[in-house]
Amino acid sequence: MANAPTKPTTPVKKESASASGLFATLTIPICIAVAILIYIFILGDPSHFAGGDTSAEPTDYYGTVHRGGTIVPLIMSYLLIVITFSIERFVVIGKASGTSNVDSFVRKIQSFLNAGNIDAANAECDKQKGSVANVIKSGLKKYKEMELEPGLDVDQKTLAIQKDIEEATSLEMPMLEQNLTVIATLVSIGTLTGLLGTVVGMIKAFKTLASSGAPNTTELSTSISEALINTALGISTSAISIIMYNVFTSKIDKLTYAIDETGFSIVQTFAASHKNK
């Protein structure tokens, strides 16, 4: 009885997890390839350099970024990955929230529970859809099953409802957190790769200074530009990653709180309405 609501849900969740894993597997190499193409054909276009010579001074920002060297497309691929995964998470978390505002949905469910109208609460879950509604609907199904269960006392029935809600939550919530590890990883990698580009640029700058008594100012400025451009790109990528990660964790926490709040209401409503039976 306690596992009945989870049986049809499990294959769907496995399929969703597999699709999410495939998305990550395909997205990362595609973003790297796109970044390389942008670096070569857009940033490296001769029109961005004086006289159409890519070894000459850049005439705009595109040429200046291209001057950052071979680490630039790597950092650009990080930025593309953050943007792509952020869009994917927005879509997934948006679907998990359902068709209307989560707070409004929770208030409606609590109102129906207070009135003892379980059928209306179920109908509201069908209308809302999404992960929050799925978990609440699973708890409401168990609620009705426990009303017809003659072999358990109220405490056992209450525990069974609570356990069912926890099981449904454990199936829904991990899907919301998938791919967030990629964004979290890029927070550190973006900065570190930018620092690597900085070190490489500074090595070239000191090499230029050591190559002759009178330093070549053009080569020296090019090496310093490479160092600074990689630093700026790396820090920018990390900053965007931090912002996106915090936005998504905040949204997930809000959904988790909504589930916990409504689940507690379901359990308390059952206990209060059946304590004398």
pLDDT digits (tens, 9 = 90+) for 212-241: 666 667 677 777 877 889 999 999 999 999
Question: Nearest-CA neighbor of 189 among 36, 62, 77, 33?
Answer: 77
- What is the residue type of 267? V
pLDDT at res. 173: 84
pLDDT at res. 267: 93
pLDDT at res. 6: 41
Whether the per-residue pLDDT at 128 is higher than 80: the answer is: yes
203 versus 126: which is more confidently predicted? Answer: 126
Query: Which DSSP category does 57 fall into?
Result: -
Query: Which DSSP category does 151 fall into?
Result: S
196-215 burial, b at 16+ Cβ within 10 Å, e below that, comes to: bbbebbeebbeebeeeeeee
Question: How far apart are the two ends of the chain, measured CA to CA in Å?
Answer: 21
Whether the per-residue pLDDT at 48 is higher than 70: the answer is: yes
Mean of all residue pLDDT scores within the chain: 87
Token pair recorded at residue 172: 């829904």
Q: How far apart are CA 1 and CA 204, in angstroms?
A: 70
Whether the per-residue pLDDT at 11 is higher than 60: the answer is: no
Whether the per-residue pLDDT at 3 is higher than 60: the answer is: no
Whether the per-residue pLDDT at 197 is higher than 50: the answer is: yes
CB 186 within 8 A of CB 241: yes
**Tell me: the pLDDT tens digits for 150-185?**
888 899 999 999 999 999 999 888 888 888 999 999
Residue 58 phi/psi, 5° resolution? -70, 150
pLDDT at res. 8: 43
Cα→Cα distances 151→139, 176, 266, 267, Å: 19, 37, 21, 18
In this prediction, residues 83-88 reach a mean pLDDT of: 95
Whether the per-residue pLDDT at 5 is higher than 50: the answer is: no
Whether the per-residue pLDDT at 273 is higher than 50: the answer is: yes
pLDDT level of residue 102 (50, 70, 90 thresholds): very high
CB 39 within 8 A of CB 2: no
Q: How far apart are CA 181 and CA 165, in angstroms?
A: 26
pLDDT at res. 1: 38
